[in-house]
Each structure stands twice: as C-alpha cells, then as structure tokens.
C-alpha cells in the first residue's frame, strides 16, 4: 500500500513539473497526433493536446506531415476549463529565426536570402522567413541602376544592424514592431574582392600571365578584373592585326588569360597585353613569304585605294587598287571584293622593316593583252563599245578589257570626216576589223571602213566618169571650193575656179555638177558647176 502511494506521488510530481514547463508564451516541442479540418493536433506533454490552425500550413506542408512527426510550436493560449491549447508553428519559427540571426550577427557570418520586393531606398530580403532591408547603396560595389531586375534572386549578405523585437513572436505578417534588420551584399563583395586582391598581389608582376574577367569595354580598350585588381588592355595591345573595336574580340563576362605588361606598385595601376602572348608575325614575315608566292586570306577591310587581306592571325597584306584588275582604270575596290570573303592572291613584295606585304589578285589571271594576242589576229572582225572619242579617233573596248584605236582616217572610205563624233557616239556598239596587233606594246589598230571593200578600186571609177553630169548636195563651202556629196556618199570638190558665180549656193542646196577629174590614187573627184545642163532641160 505504501509503495502504491509513493508511485502516485511520483506521477503527480512529474505531472506538475510538466504543467510548469508548458505555459503561455513559451516554446515547446510536440508530436503530431492528427490532422483534421480545424488544424493539426499536437501532443506537447500537457494534459490536453494543442492545435495549430490549418491556415498556417500549405498543401505541401500537410502532405509532408505524418503521425509522430516532431514539430516546434509557440504556446499562444491555454484554456484548462475547456481543455483547449492554441499553438502556432509560424511564431515558433519567427522566434527561432531571430535567435539564429542573432547568433550570425554576433559571429559576423554570412547568410543566404532571397530578394522578394522593392521598397523606398532599397530592396526587401527574406532571411529565415524574416524581412530584412537591403539599402540600394549596399546592393553592389558600384551603383545598381535597375533594382527591379534583382527581385527573385538569391543573394548572400551580412547583417549590418540587428535589433530584435521586444516580443520575439512578432506579428503574423512582417517583422515585429521595434525590430531592425538591415543587411549588406556589398560587404560580402568587398570582402571577397579584398581577399582576391591579396591573392592576386602575391602573383602580380610584369611578365606574368593571369586569368581575368572582362568587366567593361570602351572604344579605347578593355577593363579586366584580375581578382580584386583591375587592369587595362589598350586597343593597340589586343591583336597584331587590325582592330576596329575591342568588341570584335571580347564580350563582358569573358574569362581569358592576359599578360601583365606593367604594374605600378604604388598605385596598383596594371597595363595588360593580349597580343603579346603570341610572337609578332611580322618578325618572321620575310621567312614565310616571298615574291611570287601564292597565298590565301580573308578580306578584312576595303578602302578607296585597295583591299586589306589577313593572310594569318595578325598579318595583313594590301592589294592595291592597281593590282585588282588589268583594266587601265579599275573600278572601286568594293566592286571586286567584299569584307569577309576568302580569296587567293600573289605576293608582290615583302618589307619587314615597314611592316608591308604587297599582294595582287590580277596577277593570278592572264594579262588581257596576252589573251588578246592568243585569241585575235589581223583581219579578224571584232565587236566592242566606243569607250573614248578623241580628235584623232575613237577607242573601242573589247570584252577582254583592252582598247583598240579606230583612227579617224579608218572610219569611212568616201566621207571627209572632220571629227569622229560626227560618226560615233560614246557607248555605241560597233563592228570593226583588226588592222594591226601588237600585244607586247599593248596596241591594236581597228578600222570600220575595212568592213567593206574599198570602192575606189573599181566601184567609184566605174560610176563616176570624166564628163558625166550628176546631182549632189552641198556639204560645206570653203575658200578653195565647195564640197559636194554625190550619190552613194562619195564626196567631190567643186574647185573655186569652177563655181558658177551666177548661182549662189548654200550648205544643204541640191546642185548639178560635171565631173572634170577622177584621181584614184589620191581618192579625189574634181567637179565643176560651169557648162552644166540643167536637170529640167534634160
């Protein structure tokens, strides 16, 4: 009997101790008993089970709860008369979060959070379910223009200012009144940068090759983060070849290796090189290239005076406009080639001292005059377009790009032509006969009148006999006589002594004349207006 009484007293004592530990406003650990429509029922070791409102749980939370799961709760209310204990999991989490953040603040430790919103002067970061203020000035080392773009990002921060609420359980939304929680991402970045800087300084020296990240690109060069220290790569040190803009070679965020050209230890100003990682190709240009050699390359630039071709990385040659085409007057270089085009060229000259490599594309093709010499022969009929007209003749362009000359004397067998433009126009397509061909001297004589047989051999002597009378048209009047166009375009001259003074004549008049002279050798027909029977009389 005494033993039974002692056991009862022990149970009452244990029960009393349990009741003392579980009180309103305290934290307790419990075990999930059940889940119903009102909430989650939890045994916290009290004489009555507690309940957590169902609103504190998401569907995922509820799916993860099983009977026997342990959970930390905050005791909000105890109603022994009705046997109801109201619990909160959210407030327990908030209290625990303040404890954890307090320890991290004391340790000056880092913590990861998520940017959830933007507010006046900065951003809101969620840390362990609590809302911390991240001032705009503490977001990055340099000013951040677009804070909205950071919402939703995970960030690592340090707590700058920590002041927990008087009532740690706080409210259900936001932080409790009187609490202050300010964080900084910039502090993390500066720490990392300073740490990286110390490591970089250990290996930073002229001649060293360091890895770096491109952080900014300008017209004059590239700024590179070497690890806490920035270096400048000038545009002139990017490539041994042509660099129109640094963006042709780099993009922000690129990780590359750079050569330290100069380091000022007092100011830590660092000058970098990129092209220097490779040998200057111009130093061995005369060993690799020689006149007459055929090379392949890519067109990298076109100017009014020629085309630049990159034959290897950092080594460019110039095809001067005069070496693009065999034509006497080449077109603009852009009419022959385009930037980016792969071509073949012939090396003309190599000048290592002046860093010049002269190339030619026309010399890979046969000279037009060589082609003409192998294709054409004297007496052959050709076709071309009138390219130029001069006082002494007209130049005709052949399909091969060479010009042949038609002398004014070879335009007509019979007409007296004062200027070639009286018979030809620029751009006119004409047929002609090759009279002489000298490819080595780049000369060719052409004739139009030779397309037909010389009428002075038989036709004119047979048609125009001494004493014959015929009609004609006055072409022009000179001091020594009147030139008349006879039938068939043949010209004759009425000598001034044979002009009928009683008949006034003007250019364009139709007149009757008598043939008084036919000189085949001199190709002249002499005429007279005297003693001519009128056409009506006949």
Q: Outline where DSSP puts E strands in 322-468.
A: 342-351, 356-360, 381-389, 393-397, 403-407, 429-438, 443-447
Quote the percentage of the chain above a pLDDT of 70. 92
Report the CATH number at residue 184: 2.40.50.140
SS (H, E, C) 284-323: HHHHHCCCCCEEEEEEEEEECCEEEEEEECCEEEEEEHHH
Residue range 282-313, pLDDT digits in tens:
989 999 999 999 999 999 999 999 999 999 98
Q: With 70 as the cut, is the pLDDT of residue 13 above it?
A: no
User: Once rounded to an integer, what is the mean pLDDT over residues 50-70?
Assistant: 83
Lowest mean pLDDT among 77-86, 201-210, 231-240, 285-294: 77-86
Q: With 70 as the cut, is the pLDDT of residue 186 above it?
A: yes
Amino acid 313: pLDDT:
86
**Residue of 86, 153, 99 whose CA lies nearest to 130:** 99
Q: Is residue 534 part of a domain?
A: no
User: How many structural domains compose the chain?
Assistant: 6
One domain for residues 439 and 464:
no
Quote the percentage of the chain above a pLDDT of 90. 45
Q: With 50 as the cut, is the pLDDT of residue 20 above it?
A: no
Q: Is residue 271 part of a domain?
A: yes
Q: Is residue 197 part of a domain?
A: no
- Cβ neighbors of 14 (< 8 A, separation 6 or more) are none
Q: With 80 as the cut, is the pLDDT of residue 178 above it?
A: no
Among 320, 341, 364, residue at a domain's last position: 364
Amino acid 414: pLDDT:
80
Q: Would you call 264 exposed, middle or buried from its count of C-beta atoms within 10 A (0-12, 13-18, 19+)?
A: exposed
Amino acid 23: pLDDT:
73
Q: Is residue 479 part of a domain?
A: yes
Q: Is residue 309 part of a domain?
A: yes
**Residue of 360, 281, 367 whose CA lies nearest to 320:** 360
One domain for residues 182 and 257:
no
Distance CA(260)–CA(270), nearest Å, equals 7
- The answer to whether the beta carbons of residues 18 and 3 sit under 8 Å apart is no
One domain for residues 285 and 356:
yes
Q: With 80 as the cut, is the pLDDT of residue 276 above it?
A: yes
Q: b/e for 141-176, b at 16 or more Cβ within 10 A?
A: eeebeebeebeeeebebbbbebebbeebbbeeeebb
One domain for residues 290 and 356:
yes
Q: With 50 as the cut, is the pLDDT of residue 174 above it?
A: no
Lowest mean pLDDT among 35-49, 135-149, 209-223: 35-49
User: Once rounded to an integer, what is the mean pLDDT over residues 408-422?
Assistant: 88
Residues 385-392: contacts with CB under 8 Å, at least 24 apart: 385/427, 385/428, 385/429, 385/430, 386/424, 386/425, 386/426, 386/427, 386/428, 386/429, 386/430, 387/426, 388/426, 389/420, 389/421, 389/424, 389/425, 389/426, 390/420, 391/419, 391/420, 392/420
Q: How confident is the model at residue 537 (pLDDT cuts 50, 70, 90)?
A: very low
Distance CA(203)–CA(223), nearest Å, equals 19
- The answer to whether the beta carbons of residues 222 and 236 sit under 8 Å apart is no
Among 418, 451, 484, residue at a domain's last position: 451
Q: With 80 as the cut, is the pLDDT of residue 22 above it?
A: no
One domain for residues 270 and 290:
no
Q: Is residue 228 part of a domain?
A: yes
Domain that holds residue 85: 22-107
Distance CA(346)–CA(251), nearest Å, equals 36
Residue range 322-374, pLDDT digits in tens:
999 887 778 899 999 999 999 999 999 999 999 999 999 999 988 888 888 88
One domain for residues 463 and 444:
no
Q: Is residue 3 part of a domain?
A: no
Q: Is residue 13 part of a domain?
A: no
CA distances from 322 to 311, 318, 319, 370, 523 (A): 20, 11, 8, 18, 46
> Taking the model in full, what pTM does it have?
0.48
Among 411, 426, 451, residue at a domain's last position: 451
Q: How confident is the model at residue 171 (pLDDT cuts 50, 70, 90)?
A: very low
Q: With 70 as the cut, is the pLDDT of residue 16 above it?
A: no
The alpha carbon of 370 is separated from its chain's Cα centroid by a whole number of angstroms, namely 42
- The answer to whether the beta carbons of residues 348 and 363 sit under 8 Å apart is yes
Residue range 220-247, pLDDT digits in tens:
999 999 988 899 999 999 998 888 899 9
Q: How confident is the model at residue 83 (pLDDT cuts 50, 70, 90)?
A: low
Residue 352 has a CB neighbour count (10 Å cut-off) of 14
């Amino acid at each position: 009997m005494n033993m039974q009484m002692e056991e009862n007293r022990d149970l009452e004592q244990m029960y009393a101790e349990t009741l003392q530990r579980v009180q309103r406003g305290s934290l307790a650990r419990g075990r999930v008993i059940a889940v119903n429509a009102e909430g989650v029922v939890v045994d916290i070791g009290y004489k009555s089970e507690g309940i957590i409102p169902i609103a504190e749980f998401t569907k995922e939370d509820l799916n993860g709860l099983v009977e026997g799961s342990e959970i930390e709760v905050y005791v909000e209310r105890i109603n022994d008369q009705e046997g109801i204990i109201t619990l909160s999991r959210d407030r327990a989490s908030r209290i625990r979060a303040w404890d954890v953040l307090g320890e991290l603040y004391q340790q000056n430790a880092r913590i990861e959070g998520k940017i959830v919103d933007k507010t006046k002067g900065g951003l809101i970061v969620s840390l362990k379910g609590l809302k911390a203020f991240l001032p705009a000035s503490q977001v990055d080392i340099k000013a951040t223009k677009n804070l909205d773009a950071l919402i939703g990002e995970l960030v690592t921060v340090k707590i700058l200012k920590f002041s927990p609420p008087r009532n740690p359980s706080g409210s259900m939304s936001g932080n409790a009144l009187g609490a202050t929680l300010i964080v900084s991402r910039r502090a993390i970045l500066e720490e990392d940068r300073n740490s990286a800087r110390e490591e970089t300084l250990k290996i930073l020296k002229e001649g060293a090759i360091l890895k770096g990240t491109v952080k900014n690109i300008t017209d004059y060069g590239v700024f590179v983060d070497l690890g806490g220290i920035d270096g400048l790569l000038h545009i002139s040190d990017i490539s041994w070849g042509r660099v129109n803009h640094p963006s042709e070679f780099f993009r922000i965020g690129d990780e590359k290796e750079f050569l330290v050209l100069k380091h000022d230890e007092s100011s830590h100003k660092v000058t970098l090189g990129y092209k220097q990682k490779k040998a200057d190709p111009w130093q061995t240009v005369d060993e690799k290239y020689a006149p007459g050699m055929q090379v392949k390359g890519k067109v990298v630039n076109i100017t009014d005076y020629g085309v630049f071709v990159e034959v290897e990385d950092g080594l460019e040659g110039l095809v001067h406009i005069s070496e693009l085409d065999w034509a006497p007057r080449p077109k603009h270089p852009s009419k022959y080639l385009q930037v980016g085009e792969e071509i073949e060229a012939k090396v003309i000259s190599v000048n290592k001292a002046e860093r010049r490599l002269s190339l030619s594309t026309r010399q890979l093709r046969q000279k037009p005059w060589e082609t003409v010499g192998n294709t054409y022969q004297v007496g052959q009929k050709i076709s071309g377009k009138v390219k130029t007209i001069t006082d002494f003749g007209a130049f005709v362009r052949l399909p091969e790009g060479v010009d042949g000359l038609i002398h004014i004397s070879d335009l007509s067998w019979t007409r007296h032509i004062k200027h070639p433009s009286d018979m030809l126009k620029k751009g006119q397509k004409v047929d002609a006969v090759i009279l002489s061909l000298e490819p080595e001297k780049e000369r060719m004589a052409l004739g139009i009148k030779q397309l037909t047989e010389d009428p002075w051999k038989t036709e004119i002597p047979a048609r125009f006999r001494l004493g014959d009378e015929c009609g004609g048209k006055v072409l022009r009047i000179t001091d020594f006589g009147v030139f008349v166009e006879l039938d068939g375009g043949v010209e004759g001259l009425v000598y001034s002594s044979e002009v009928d003074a009683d008949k006034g004549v003007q250019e364009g008049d139709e007149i009757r004349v008598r043939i008084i002279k036919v000189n085949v050798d001199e190709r002249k027909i002499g005429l007279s207006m005297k003693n001519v029977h009128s056409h009506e009389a006949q």
